[in-house]
Amino acid sequence: MPQHSLAELAEITGAELRGDPLWQIARLSVPQAAGPHDLVFLLDPRWLPAIAASEAQAVLLSPQHWGPALASKYALLVSDVRPALAGLLRLFHAAPSHPPGIHPTAVLGDNCQIDPSAYIGPGCVLEQGVLIEAGVVLKAMVYVGAHTRIGRDSLIYPQVTLYDQVHLGERVIIHSGSVIGADGYGFYLHDGQHQKIPQIGGVLVEDDVEIGANVTVDRGTVGQTRIGAGSKIDNQVQIGHNVQVGQHCLLVAQVGISGSTVLGDYVTLAGQTGVAGHLHIGDGVVAAGKSGITHDIPAGQKVSGFPAQAHLRELKQQALLRRLPELFKRLRGGDV
């Protein structure tokens, strides 16, 4: 891996450099494993003692955290560490490029259109009428259903399944084991038996969406399930049929959203949050972990608990619940 001088890194990140501009950086590292030519980074003030004690000579941090404890270190001072760190990680750990082409073990259906710059990996199966745009990478054993479209520069990791009529926008990333476009959970009871409602819709995933591992996004019963541009979905999330996820939403691990619910833009659902069906969650709503949302939530609210309610109200109720043993003891003892 090539080394880079602090002067180069300062230019790339727009940082103010304190120290030797010719000092060479071999890699980025956590403080506990860092050597003299590693660059460490400060995202949390609690990391300061570990960074000060590390062997690393250089640190990436914001000006407010620069002080006497780090006086012996070289510093790259930036207003926001995370974007600077992301840029340096891309520099030191560039994703491997794939030569354009179709692996001889791939299976292609009739009338597939594959841009010459795309890469189709070993064991991939593309059904009829698939459209693959420029720069797409399908790693090993990806299944792409009929009449599915994958937009330019998208990256699909091994063993992803895209059912029929899935439309991915540009720069979409889908991690291993995810299934996009399976049938929604649609049944009705007739003569004592559960009868299946055919699921004939599709899935639309807009530009710049990232979908984690083992995520399931069901196809629409009629019409499309939609994931809005810029949204990021963590591992093991379930999105039901005809759900509409707005732009730039964050869905954290084990979130479940029932059918036909609509999320506005910039909604955050923390881990293990469950959302009932046919609801509307307004723009900017934040739901704390393990929330159970059973009713519409207006825009801008922060909610928690089950059933979900205003977060501050939930905190007050939880504080009172913790006092119940004490209050019960007082009542039984005749103190009140």
Active site residue ranges: 241
Distance between CA atoms of residues 329 and 138, nearest Å: 64
Maximum Cα interatomic distance, the chain, rounded to a whole number of Å? 84
Distance between CA atoms of residues 151 and 162, nearest Å: 13
Contacts of 83 (CB under 8 A, 6+ apart): none
The closest of 31, 43, 39, 30 to 76, measured between CA atoms, is 39
User: Which residues lie across from 38 on neighbouring strands?
Assistant: 27
Are residues 281 and 300 in contact, defined by beta-carbon separation less than 8 angstroms? Answer: no
